[in-house]
Amino acid sequence: MRILLVDDEVEMADPLGRILVREGYEVDVAYDGDRGSQLAQQAHYDLLILDWMLPHQSGLQICQQLRSQGNATPVLFLTAKDTVDDRVSGLDAGADDYLVKPFELRELLARVRALLRRPVALDSPPASANKRLQVGDLELDLDNQLAYRQGREIDLSEKEAQLLEYLMRHPNQLLTHDQIHQHLWGDSAEKPTSNALAAQIRLLRRKIETEGEPPLINTVYGKGYRFGASSSGSVE
């Protein structure tokens, strides 16, 4: 069983991760919301343990994003928020369980075991349900590696489709160069050149942004890119 633990309190996350490993689980640990979201979308996990308050993206935002994409992986929130309204907000966002800090280790392990015993929901959307994305007037058909904008059919390369999918799954969010680079090339032994990402962005722009159409990929200089027609930014 594989677990993703996302908590910015390193002094708690690291020992808890080691304990879960000793319990027989395979565990990945992230310390901020952006990295946690990236891992949750790139890999298959049997359980996500998310702290509510995280840098960059909250655990609540990660959970909402995954549920909107049809990801039904069980989510256990760890949080200092203990009001009824907070618990309701977490559950409404798609969480399966909720544990208030500080907590007893044996209770957390019991809840982990209980969540991992649950069968996958029968009404979960099929894997193909998440193969078409739309942001504004741009639609992406992942199965056929095609995009559509204002009646135009746009043929994409595999890398262009991968890049566009990542951008469209994070509309109006600042995605750093490192985040996008990691998503496209990961830890590949064949490192791309330093300007490979900029080149991919230029190629994709030429295809999805023709004359008279609002730009969708906006450059945030020195940081990365933000996707969406309503975004403010500069073009390379």
What is the tens place of the pLDDT at every residue in 173-224? 888 888 888 888 876 545 566 688 999 999 999 999 988 888 999 999 989 9
Which ranges in the chain are annotated with CATH 3.40.50.2300? 2-117
pLDDT at 94 (0 to 100): 78
Has residue 156 got a pLDDT over 90?
yes
Fold of 2-117: Rossmann fold (3.40.50)
Whole-angstrom CA distances from 215 to 153, 164, 181, 202, 234 are 17, 14, 21, 12, 10
- Residue range 38-61, pLDDT digits in tens: 898 888 889 999 998 898 888 888
Residue 3 has pLDDT above 90, yes or no: yes
3-state secondary structure of 92: helix
Domain with CATH 1.10.10.10 in the chain: 131-227
pLDDT given at position 87: 67
Indicate the pTM of the whole model. 0.52
Q: What is the C-alpha separation between 16 and 1, in angstroms, rounded? A: 16
Quickly name the fold that domain 131-227 has. Arc Repressor Mutant, subunit A (1.10.10)
Element housing 26 (H / E): strand 26-30
